[in-house]
Amino acid sequence: GENVEQHPSTLSVQEGDSAVIKCTYSDSASNYFPWYKQELGKRPQLIIDIRSNVGEKKDQRIAVTLNKTAKHFSLHITETQPEDSAVYFCAAPLKTSYDKVIFGPGTSLSVIP
Amino acid sequence: DTGVSQDPRHKITKRGQNVTFRCDPISEHNRLYWYRQTLGQGPEFLTYFQNEAQLEKSRLLSDRFSAERPKGSFSTLEIQRTEQGDSAMYLCASSLALGTGSRDEQFFGPGTRLTVL
C-alpha cells in the first residue's frame, strides 16, 4: 500500500540541542527521499533530499540518513535555533505506472530559546 | 517573481457552487502537481501533469474535481458542487523532471485557501 509515516508528531527541544525526526515508507522501490519545511502560513520548501544510492547526506546543520533495508530515513538538525521552529514533512515517491509523491503527516518542531 | 504563483489566494464560496483555481508554474518546469492540505496534515496528492498530459489522479478525488493543463504551462483545478469538506488549502507545485520518476525538487506555490460555507 501507499503509506509514509513520521515520528514524532510534535517535538520540543531547547535551543542548541539536536532534533531527530524519523520517517518510514512502504514502497521498497522508492529511490528519492526529500524533506520539506513549512513555516506557519507559508509554503513547503525543500531543505534536503537523499537518493537511494547513498546512506547519508549533510548540509551544514541538517543531515539525512537512509536505511533502505529497514525502509526508513531520518532528518537530523544539530545546534537548533528558534528559526528552525516549523512543521517538517518527509516524502517518498511511489513506483506506480507513473511516479507520485506521498507526504508524511508532518512533525511540528518547537525550539525553545 | 519567477516562482510558482496561484490565484486566487483565498476563496470563500457557498456549498453547491463551482470554483476554479489557477496555477502558474516556473516557466521551464514540465511537471505540475496539485495537492490539498488541511490543518495539521501533510500535502495530499491530488493529480499531476507532465507537460499537458495528466498522468495520474488520486483515487481520493471524486468526479467533482477536474484539472487541466491545456498548453503545458498554467493549470486549472475546478471543483464542482462544492461541499464543506472541500475546505482546505490547495497547493500547486512544479518541477523539472529530466527522466521518469519524481526525483526532482518540487517548488510550491503559496496556495489557495478555500472556505466552503
Tens of pLDDT, residue by residue over B79-108, are: 999 999 999 999 999 998 876 555 678 999
- Confidence at residue A97, expressed as pLDDT on a 0 to 100 scale: 46
What would the pLDDT profile of B29-71 be if each residue is shown by its tens digit?
999 999 999 988 999 999 999 999 998 888 877 899 999 999 8
**β-pairing, B10-13 with B112-116?**
parallel
> How many C-beta atoms surround the C-beta of residue A29 within 10 A?
12
Residue A86: per-residue pLDDT? 97
Q: How does the average pLDDT of chain B come out, rounded?
A: 91
The alpha carbon of residue A93 and the mean position of all alpha carbons in its chain are separated, in whole angstroms, by: 13
Residue A67's closest CA among A3, A22, A1? A22
* For chain A, percent of residues with pLDDT exceeding 90: 70
pLDDT category at A95 given cuts 50, 70, 90 is low
Higher pLDDT, B18 or B28: B18
Q: What is the pLDDT of residue A77?
A: 98
Interface residue A93 vs chain B (CB under 8 A):
yes
Residue B35: its chain A contacts at CB < 8 A?
Answer: 103
Average pLDDT over residues A44-61: 91
**What type of residue sits at position A29?**
A
Q: Does A103 contact chain B (CB < 8 Å)?
A: yes
Q: Give the percent of chain B with pLDDT over 70.
A: 95
Contact between chains at B42 and A45 (C-beta distance less than 8 A): no
Closest by CA to A90, choosing from A77, A101, A104, A71, is A104
Q: What is the pLDDT of residue A2?
A: 62
A103–B103 CB contact, under 8 Å = no
- pLDDT of residue B15 exceeding 90: yes
What are the angstrom distances between the C-alpha of A64 and each of A2, A19, A28, A105, B79? 22, 12, 18, 18, 38
Angle at A1 between CA A45 and CA A3, to 5 degrees: 30
